[in-house]
Amino acid sequence: MTTYRNFISGKWVESTSTRTAANVNPANTDDVLGTVRQATRDEARAAVEAAANAFRDWRATPAPTRGRIVAKAARLLEENKEEVAQLLTREEGKTIAESRGELQRSINVAEFCAGEARRLNGETIPSELPLNFAYTIKQPIGVVACVTPWNFPVAIPIWKIAPALVAGNTVVFKPASITPATAVRITEIFEAAGIPAGVLNLVLGSGSEAGDEIINHPAVKAISFTGSNGVGIRLYEQASRRGAKVQCEMGGKNPVIVLEDADMDLAVESTAQGAFGSSGQRCTATSRAVVVNEVADEFVQRLAKRAQSMRLGAGADPQTEMGPSVDENQFKTVLSYIDVGREDGATLVCGGERASVDGLDKGYFVHPTVFDHVTPDMRIAREEIFGPVLSVLRVRDFDHAMEVANDCEYGLSSSIFTNDAARIFRFVDEIETGMTHINSPTTGGEAHVPFGGIKGTGIGDREQGSTALDFYTDLKVVYVDYTGRKREGNLY
């Protein structure tokens, strides 16, 4: 049985902790992948210190050289794509097609970031004064902590670690406790790509202990966090109090709007994909369908039919359309929200219970669930469930749909189904989300396009795309005066 190790200062080291946890396949809890020892506070501190010691040399390494290591990691990810995808499915439960997609996204992001290493350009700015100019340079910050969730345990670490390294920072990587195996593989890939000792460190431990130690360590100058709002906001409070830079990508409650002229086949299939893909465990998952009355009966009926036809099973089976919830906690959370929906008076159309037939009884499977006649004040319309549960909210017309869609503390993703250009552009203008999709699911994104949310979802710079390096660099402004004389203008 594998016992996962921490990677500190270029060495794989066994934790001395006596607190252990089993890494379990959520599709079949008899299948145990390995054991994690939860890193102690001392071990977390050692990782931060290793990163701090490695910073000087890494900062002095030319950016294109740093980029070549990230490019090598991209090639190694590609070579090991199938093996890592299989591991991801076994550890997290998503279907093998979804895992392969996540691996490809990770490869694309790493390639993109490697290219950015040759574009760490600043600006040259003409001056108000004669014989003067100014320019900007982008510089690394220092030790960066990457704190990541379990739902994209390969892609999210890569989209934080790759830009952090390219920018010249050293990294302490604290993955989610329940997905240690993929975190180890990612780190091994960077090791094989030639990352110098101490530049990337891995700490496998609980958020409340190892995580807490890392984010409060004074040598950690920036923290990139993806996860839940509860944890993210607390982390932001703590770290910002000591002046650390913080980026938080948090929860979502993503709406799809379906208008009367929508292509119904497309709207139903895309909503099912968005709501039930990855078992509803994407931050961009569709969790509210805001549908105009005129087509609501048809939409709900067809969506329920699609939900009931979904093939549940182990992700490793290529026939499977939807895998399990990731663990017992998440499974119980989903089932308890289903109870809340019922108690609050929503109409349960389909699903609503655990799936335990056909060998699914050893996994955390919940049938795809649709609630109709959900009202905006109900908890299932407001809170992130992170499971295969869709709430349908019926509305009078487009204006009412916009009002309901925007009545939400989160602002990650959204989509609309209509063929009316005027309403599409009003929707794009007025919808309060950081990303939006036209006639396609709320999920999905591309490696070279910025990613992130507004309102309660996002704090700080956007990840990926043209803005990927912003968070990981400090901007320095340089004024150059070649008059050789005492300054006479510009005296403020």
Q: Provide the 8-state DSSP code for 393.
A: E
**Does 6 participate in binding ligand NAP (rule CB under 6 A)?**
no
State the maximum Cα–Cα separation within the chain, in Å, rounded to a whole number: 85
State both tokens at 177: 């406790």
Determine how many CB atoms are found less than 10 A away from the CB of residue 477: 11
Residue (of 320, 254, 262) closest to 456 by Cα position: 254
**Does 178 participate in binding Mg ion (rule CB under 5 A)?**
yes
Catalytic residue among 248, 283, 350, 408: 283
Compute the least distance from the CB of residue 23 to ligand NAP, in Å.
Answer: 12
**Does 388 participate in binding ligand NAP (rule CB under 6 A)?**
no
433 contacts 411 by C-beta, under 8 angstroms: yes
**Does 212 participate in binding ligand NAP (rule CB under 6 A)?**
yes
Q: Find the helix or strand (DSSP H, E) in which 245 lies.
A: strand 245-249
**Does 91 participate in binding ligand NAP (rule CB under 6 A)?**
no
Residue 116 or 249 with smaller CB distance to ligand NAP: 249
Catalytic residue among 191, 249, 384, 463: 249
Binding segment for ligand NAP among 16-24, 84-92, 250-258, 351-359 (CB under 6 A)?
250-258
User: Which residue number is nearest to ligand NAP in terms of Cβ?
Assistant: 207
**Does 228 participate in binding ligand NAP (rule CB under 6 A)?**
yes
Pairing status of strand 143-147 against strand 170-174: parallel
**From CA 463, how far away is CA 449, in angstroms rounded?**
9
Q: Is 249 one of the annotated active-site residues of the chain?
A: yes
Backbone dihedral angles phi then psi of residue 52, each to the nearest 5 degrees: -65, -40
With CB under 5 to 8 Å by kind, the binding choice for 412 among ligand NAP, Mg ion, none is: ligand NAP
Q: Is 353 one of the annotated active-site residues of the chain?
A: no
Residue 350 or 468 with smaller CB distance to ligand NAP: 468
Residue 251 or 368 with smaller CB distance to ligand NAP: 251
Q: How far is CA 462 from the centre of its chain?
A: 12
CB neighbour list of residue 267: distance below 8 Å, 6 or more residues apart: 256, 258, 299, 417
Residue (of 93, 124, 111, 117) closest to 27 by Cα position: 93
> Residues 29, 136, 206, 439: which binds ligand NAP (CB under 6 A)?
206
Backbone dihedral angles phi then psi of residue 357, each to the nearest 5 degrees: -85, 170
With CB under 5 to 8 Å by kind, the binding choice for 443 among Mg ion, ligand NAP, none is: none
Residues carrying an active site annotation: 249, 283
Q: What are the residues binding ligand NAP (CB under 6 A)? A: 147-152, 174-177, 206-208, 211-212, 215, 226-228, 231, 235, 249-252, 283, 384, 386, 412, 453, 457
Interaction site with Mg ion (CB under 5 A): 23, 91, 178
